[in-house]
Amino acid sequence: MYLRKVMDFQWCCFSPVKQPLDLSMITSQLRTYVAISVFCVLKASSLDTFTAAVYEHAVILPNATLTAVPRQEALALMNRNLDLLEGAIISAAKQGAHIIVTPEDGIYGWNFNRESIYPYLEDIPDPQVTWIPCNHPNRFGHNPLQERLSCLAKDNSIYIVANIGDKKPCNASDPQCPSDGRYQYNTDVVFDSQGKLVARYHKQNLFLGEGQFNIPKEPEVVTFSTPFGRFGMFTCFDILFHDPAVTLVKDFHVDTILFPTAWMNVLPHLSAIEFHSAWAMGMGVNFLASNLHHPAKKMTGSGIYAPDSPRAFHYDMKTKEGKLLLAQLASHPHHPVVNWTSYASGIEALSTGNQEFKSIVFFDEFTFLELKGVTGNYTVCQNDLCCHLSYKMSEKRLDEVYALGTFDGLHTVEGRYHLQICTLLKCKTMDLHSCGDSVETASTRFEMFSLSGTFGTQYVFPEVLLSEIQLAPGEFQVSSDGRLFSLKPLSGPVLTVTLFGRLYEKDQASNISSDLVAQALSVMVIVITTIVYLLSW
């Protein structure tokens, strides 16, 4: 029966010759057909391009409580969110999407402590167990979330990326085991088009207020392969650190990053679409960013980004609805090599006298120079970083101020990380000390610009953000010698043109220094306490 099916199969490369054969010839012919069919299937399943989808989800939030609600109440809330996600997943699949990314916290929201998050968690097994929850829902206990996600993926033949909570029991034999006897993780999962769990990632870099979750003991580097490329994933705040984000690209050579996030926009340099598109360009990978939609918390901004230009993006602070984005991407994008200091190191820094001024950008003190003409060449330096700008405005407006700024140092608010930044930005008012304040609209258009810097890192992310928080696809590029320059007059007024550099190797040193300081202070307290005690005795 099997032989009959093989002989009747119309092969993708050629059809079998119908003539009498002896058994040995049939066996030989069968082997040939099998080998050719495997080759043809592999060839057909290896795609040069794929259709990606991301969904910006207007999450339904639970009632705020510091105590755990009944499991059924938690499931009811999660299923309401899944109903909305299901609509986006089905729509994406009908439009040909191969994979869809949904947001961090998109199934249950936020404002939890360790106790109140517990009813929303499931035990997520290691994907090596080869499990399709839709087919075997009770294999690892009762996991209705994983079952529903698995069935959605299987029924719609689409890869689904979702963010849920994982729980893992522990006991006193583990010295790091929390007092409640369990680890709780902010977790991304991926189900393939057959409904199989193929990836699980525990968030490494927890943001402020994520006390309900634990950090994994070691950073997890999670990848998986598909017929349309090699994928890696991390979550939200992870993007600002080396592990696992940079490691996935540098050492594991992924083609595409999957990025569930609950991102609160911070201008001028950390608006979601601005920074995420810049990370894709700086690292030379596709980047699928799915954000929550909650304007009251400045949460919006999702996109599908290629290394050369955004393919689709969404930023909406006015409405309350979610948004589905789709776009086609190369399965194996080209990763250009850039020497970020080559061009800038050949420019002599001119003395600017007392024209420089200081102003604060997101708690960091930048050194600035005001752009005083319709066209010009400026250089401004701070510590080891000198930034060079050539530009031409369409006109020099009397009601707007632009400045060239630089920062080279340790950022210490909402995280500790070393930055080197060159930025052209619009100041909020005519007062120079407003340079760096959040501003969303502008009127000045630029005919051309070229920005470069003497960076001490290879990790630099190029940003161009226009008025009304819009990107400029296809209007600029980065040269191999490290210049961020315009290809044509920009289509809208400029908010900022920025090279955002990260010195990851200095992070560890600063953290060690912080630990040493803390230890020294602890010792000092003990010594002082002892002296006071002895004197009183």
Structure tokens at 361: 């950008």
Helix, strand or coil, per DSSP, at residue 502: strand
Q: Rounded distance, CA 283 to CA 65, Å?
A: 41
Structure tokens at 20: 């009498």
Do the beta carbons of residue 96 and residue 51 sit within 8 Å? yes
Do the beta carbons of residue 201 and residue 188 sit within 8 Å? yes
Structure tokens at 122: 């499931």
Task: Report how far Cα 421 is from the mean position of its chain's Cα atoms.
Answer: 20
Average pLDDT by consecutive 10-residue portion of the chain (537 residues)?
Answer: 29 34 44 40 67 98 94 98 98 98 98 96 98 97 97 98 98 94 98 98 95 96 98 98 98 98 98 98 98 98 98 97 98 94 88 83 98 96 97 97 98 96 98 98 98 98 98 97 98 98 86 39 34 35
Helix, strand or coil, per DSSP, at residue 305: strand
Q: What is the pLDDT of residue 393?
A: 98
* Catalytic pick among 104, 122, 147, 463: 104
Q: Is 385 exposed, middle or buried (0-12, 13-18, 19+ CB in 10 A)?
A: buried
Catalytic residue list contains 395: no
Write down the residue that tokens 């009811």 correspond to. Answer: 76
Return the C-alpha torsion angle 324, 328, 331, 332, nearest 10.
-110
CA distances from 257 to 99, 114, 152, 445 (A): 12, 29, 22, 33
Do the beta carbons of residue 497 and residue 278 sit within 8 Å? no
Catalytic residue list contains 104: yes
Q: What is the pLDDT of residue 451?
A: 98
Task: State the DSSP H helix or E strand holding residue 509, giving kind and residue range, or none if neither.
Answer: helix 504-536
Q: Rounded distance, CA 378 to CA 144, Å?
A: 60
Catalytic residue list contains 203: yes
Q: What is the pLDDT of residue 317?
A: 97
Q: What is the pLDDT of residue 513?
A: 38
CA distances from 444 to 399, 486, 489 (A): 10, 15, 12
Q: What is the pLDDT of residue 353?
A: 63
Structure tokens at 263: 């991102």
Helix, strand or coil, per DSSP, at residue 21: coil
* Catalytic pick among 154, 196, 203, 323: 203
Q: Rounded distance, CA 331 to CA 177, Å?
A: 41
| Beta-strand relationship, 256-261 and 286-291 | parallel
From start to end of 331-445, where are the E strands? Answer: 357-361, 364-370, 375-382, 385-393, 402-411, 417-426
Q: What is the pLDDT of residue 512?
A: 42
Q: What is the pLDDT of residue 335?
A: 85
From start to end of 215-322, where are the E strands? Answer: 223-226, 229-233, 256-261, 286-291, 302-305, 310-314
Helix, strand or coil, per DSSP, at residue 120: helix
Write down the residue that tokens 């680890």 correspond to. Answer: 183
Q: Is 30 exposed, middle or buried (0-12, 13-18, 19+ CB in 10 A)?
A: middle
Residue type, 511: N
The candidate with the shortest Cα–Cα distance to 246, out of 273, 284, 200, is 284
| Beta-strand relationship, 402-411 and 417-426 | antiparallel
DSSP structure class, residue 440: -
**Paired residues of 56 in beta bridges:** 323
Q: What is the pLDDT of residue 352?
A: 61
Q: How many CB atoms lie within 10 A of CB 42?
A: 10
Q: CA angle at residue 308 from 187 to 317, to 5 degrees?
A: 60
Q: What is the pLDDT of residue 300?
A: 98
How many helices (H) and strands (E) are present in the chain, helices listed first?
Answer: 8, 24
Edge-to-edge order in the sheet of strand 364-370:
357-361, 364-370, 402-411, 417-426, 494-502, 460-466
Do the beta carbons of residue 281 and residue 307 sit within 8 Å? yes
Q: Give the residue ranges of DSSP H helices in 230-345.
A: 247-250, 272-283
The candidate with the shortest Cα–Cα distance to 163, out of 54, 240, 250, 264, is 54
Residue environment code for 514-535, b if the CB has 16+ CB neighbours within 10 A, otherwise e:
eeeeeeeeeeeeeeeeeeeeee
* Catalytic pick among 134, 154, 196, 236: 236
Q: Rounded distance, CA 403 to CA 436, Å?
A: 9
The candidate with the shortest Cα–Cα distance to 507, out of 248, 241, 246, is 241
